[in-house]
Amino acid sequence: MTTPSTFPGVLAGRLRNDPGRPLVTFYDHATGERVELSVTTWANWVAKASSLLVDELGLERGDRIAIDLPPHWLGTVFLGAAWNSGLVVADADDADLAAAVCGPGTLDAWAARTGELAVLACALLPLGVRFAEPVPAGVTDVGVEIWSQPDAFQAWDPPQPDDLALDRAGRTLSQSALWSEAAATGLVGDGRLLAVADPVTEPAILCEPLLQGGSLVLVARAEPRRLEATYVAEHATARFPA
């Protein structure tokens, strides 16, 4: 079987084969939060975020976006949305940014740039809800705007295998290279990968489970004494870093 060479193709395959299987399980050891998204639920979030970026904010294939979030399940959603829409995930200081996704910690800095690019802010609260207080003028509160977006998205100008998907920290990957270089995590088949890294920095920790039929257990603010218990409880089969 030929491996799909773009993000939409890989995601479509997972939706056909095991839509109800967990895909992303997120822990925050500092707060005790746990969120689990099946393939279908994660794909719905990706579709909504894609529509928000493209249909609401007018981004186009080839535009560059910074995802300035700490390790979080919403970071995986916006990675997927960027690649679903043919956007390039770039550094925060990229001179050609068309958009940025930020969290509470960097909201003020990005809000100062709403005149030059689209700024989306995530409150990073449970269930993806809105900020408790209104965000600065010109900033899109993801927790407000994403819920009205459709659960399906079809790009009118879909990404192609040779399109750039990642250009950050001195590393570049095309859409097809996301999958050809995904086998960097040690995950075997449909196993579960426990990772404490940032998917935006280490895209293989999302791409490898998505491609292989596995799943990601992403742990933020990991407490070493609790990490082994999480590994066992989630029936993980591999770790990143190993």
Cβ proximity of 6 and 161 under 8 Å: yes
Instruction: Please give the structure tokens belonging to residue 66.
Output: 């910074």
Q: Is residue 36 part of a domain?
A: yes
Q: Is residue 1 part of a domain?
A: no
Spell out the SS3 assignment of 94-124: CCCEEEEEECHHHHHHHHCCCCCCEEEECCC
Q: Is residue 75 part of a domain?
A: yes
Domain range for 13: 7-240
Q: Is the pLDDT of residue 143 over 80?
A: yes
CATH of the domain at 116: 3.40.50.12780
* Predicted confidence (pLDDT) per residue in 160-188, tens digit: 999 999 999 999 999 999 998 766 778 88
Count of structural domains within the chain: 1
Cβ proximity of 216 and 195 under 8 Å: yes
Q: Is residue 2 part of a domain?
A: no
Mean pLDDT of the chain: 95
Q: Is the pLDDT of residue 71 over 70?
A: yes
Cβ proximity of 41 and 145 under 8 Å: no
Q: In this predicted structure, what is the pLDDT of residue 2?
A: 67
What is the model's pTM? 0.97
Q: Is residue 187 part of a domain?
A: yes
Q: Is residue 144 part of a domain?
A: yes
Q: Is residue 26 part of a domain?
A: yes
Q: Is residue 44 part of a domain?
A: yes
DSSP characters over 163-206: SEEEEETTEEEEHHHHHHT---S---TT-EEEE-S-TTT-THHH
Q: Is the pLDDT of residue 108 over 60?
A: yes
List b or e across 22-46, with b for residues whose CB sees 16 or more CB atoms inside 10 angstroms: bbbbbbbbeeebbbbbbbbbbbbbb
Q: In this predicted structure, what is the pLDDT of residue 184?
A: 72
